[in-house]
Copies of this chain bind each other. A is one copy, B any other.
Amino acid sequence: MVIIMETGAAPEDISAVTDAITLEGLTPFENPGVERKVIAVLGVIDAQKIRLMDKFQNMPGVERVTLISDPYKLPSRQCHPKDSTFEVCGVPIGGPLLTIIAGPCSIESKEQALETAHAVKAAGATLLRGGAFKPRSSPYAFQGLGEEGLRILAECREATGLPIVTEVVDPHDVGIVCQYADVLQIGARNMQNYRLLQRVGQSRTPVLLKRGMGVRIREMLMAAEYIMVEGNHQVILCERGIITFEDSTRFTTDINAIPVLKHLSHLPVVLDPSHATGSARYVGPVAKAGIAAGADGLIMEVHPQPGEALSDGPQSLKPEAFAQLMGELRRVAAAVDRVCPPDQPAR
């Protein structure tokens, strides 16, 4: 941590800052700047970083405080240099085999869910996604089937063997959702719902953490820290598009985030090209871009009749389009020394 004093800060302001550092059990180290004084803070500060930054930032005469290393710890590569990998019901997450999560935005009925589950499995998906609790921007939009949706998901797992990824939106639902889900999804709009993060951190079910649309990468890693500090280290990071001035797509896929997250963190990283573009037309090219950029997997929306979907129809692929895309992804994956799971035609 480096504290930059204002030009012409009073000597008593400077000594107040160095005293405060010493009181914290740390060592101040003054740099003889020409224009202004800079004070380095030496010592192990780790989890205290944010508190200390807050503290020093508002002492008289302080211009600003700069962190030398990152404010998060558990998701960082410094803490765990090698890629994290784990398994969900036998499906590996984070190694050479890509994680392909597919399914409808919402579970609408048993028929729709089963049809989609069989189709995505046949095309090679290794996990099934589907929403039972849906956070929708309009109170009049379809809000999901709730626990009935979870039961249908469990039947789909029974029928196909695919582990289930589903969203949890309320800290008090974590228990019930864990009874059905193999991976808990934290949606973009809840990425800074810290109470929810803590509760999923206290569970032992792996978590798929979607990036908020107005959230920096560093803050996303702080959200992962919230989960991990509670003891749950099986976290998958998911880029799903950020909000920018560009309006030709629903969000802007931050493709840079893929190599940046892989550089800063040891956690597996997946891309959601369906939400990141908002349009089935662009899902394929952006999915391929994600794999080429080094993502460990993809999460995509598939619906048998996108025109009848109760949510997110415009960005859902038909099963045939998904199967064709999987074929294309296999070629791109091979070109970057990864393996996209093979298709599993029903016998």
Interface, chain A (partner B; CB < 8 A) = 2, 4, 7, 29, 31-36, 38, 40, 42-44, 47-51, 54-55, 57-60, 66, 68-69, 71-72, 78, 135-142, 169-172, 189-190, 192-195, 198, 212-219, 222-223, 225-226, 229, 242-249, 252-260, 263-264, 276-277, 280-282, 285-286, 288-294, 306-314, 316, 328, 331-332, 334-336
Contacts and interface: CB of A to CB of B under 8 A. Distances in A.
A42 B48 contact: no
Contact of A214 (B141, B170, B215): B215
A175 B245 CA distance: 36
Contacts of A193: 135, 169, 189-190, 193
A307 B59 contact: yes
A267 B194 CA distance: 29
Contacts of A194: 135-136, 139, 169, 189
Contact of A331 (B140, B244, B336): B336
B256 A51 contact: no
A293 B336 CA distance: 14
A253 B292 CA distance: 14
Contacts of A48: 140
